[in-house]
Amino acid sequence: MCGRFVQIVDIDIDIFIKRFGVARPKDPVIGSSYNVAPGDLAYVITDNKPDELQPFQFGMTPSWAKKPLYLINARAEGDLNPENDRNYSGAAGIVRKPAFRTAIRSQRCLVIANAFYEGPAREKLSKPYLIRRQDEEVFSFAGIWDTWVNDRTGEVSNTFSVITTVANEATHEIGHPRSPVILDKKDEKRWLDPELPIEEVLRLLKPFPGDLLKTEAVSIQVKDPKNKSRDLIIPMDEKKGTEFDISVRKDLRLEGMGSGKRKQEPPAQQGNLF
């Protein structure tokens, strides 16, 4: 799955604007996060407003749901590849899933990212790796979105999911069975095209070439969703020792959601992101 990613807004807002051809947000409401976790806001570009950056909540709730569901990922294969076979070539079962079958057809978005975190299937984020593109500082995941209204309070939530597929070479090498769908730049406008036939949409749900990605071991502190600092993306020298899970476990309240007041982080450093 892809449950954590990096979105560097303070340095990169102009890069976002130029890279994706969108207008500058009139009222920026979110800053950089080096650890976007479920429940957090992040900028996306939707098919119905392709010229805007919009802050949506990570973790999709379908419009028909009775309560928030926080569906952070949508499997391209749906239930049709339970073993996560890397050679799977069957149907894209996402079109059959009640939570996603409408969104994949008419509610698609680009999820902007600078990098993402993943870990082995067993250790997960107890042994985290930062994965980023070698050729671009900013890229996009294939995402889907929906709007949910709380019947009790009337509160409106715009939410999104990142679509995943089978492992590519990079995630397979670290022992993770899935990978997020990273779109080629040339395919981003197609992904947002409401007229694109569903057959063409589904052809875009493929693993990104692993040889274009760089993978580096990073601090276990990324496991705590309250940690958002730039220090999280600094690579670790694995020969210098091991960090222990217990330091994170003490502070962890709810994996993927977080709670409590966050400490104020120092201003992001200027210059290269990585």
The pLDDT tens digits for 199-248 are: 999 999 999 999 999 999 999 999 999 999 999 999 987 435 444 343 33
Higher-scoring residue by pLDDT: 1, 107: 107
| N-to-C CA span, the chain | 23
The pLDDT tens digits for 62-117 are: 999 999 999 999 999 999 999 999 999 999 999 999 999 999 999 999 999 999 99
Pick the CATH number of 4-249 from 3.50.50.60, 3.90.1680.10, 3.40.50.1110, 3.40.190.10: 3.90.1680.10
Q: Considering the entire predicted model, what is its pTM?
A: 0.86
Spatial separation of the C-alpha atoms in residues 83 and 179, rounded to whole Å = 14
Q: Residue for token digits 């009790």?
A: 152
Name the phi and psi angles at 40, rounded to 5: -80, 160
The pLDDT tens digits for 139-197 are: 999 999 999 999 999 999 999 999 999 999 999 999 999 999 999 999 999 999 999 99
Q: Which residues are CB-neighbours of 84 under 8 A, at least 6 positions away?
A: 166, 167, 177, 178
Query: Would you tell me how many other CB atoms lie within 10 Å of the CB of residue 244?
Result: 10
What is the torsion angle, in degrees rounded to the nearest 10, for the CA atoms of residue 166, residue 39, residue 264 and residue 237? -20
**pLDDT at 263 exceeding the cut of 50:** no
- The pair of three-digit structure tokens given for residue 67, joined into one six-digit string: 């309560």
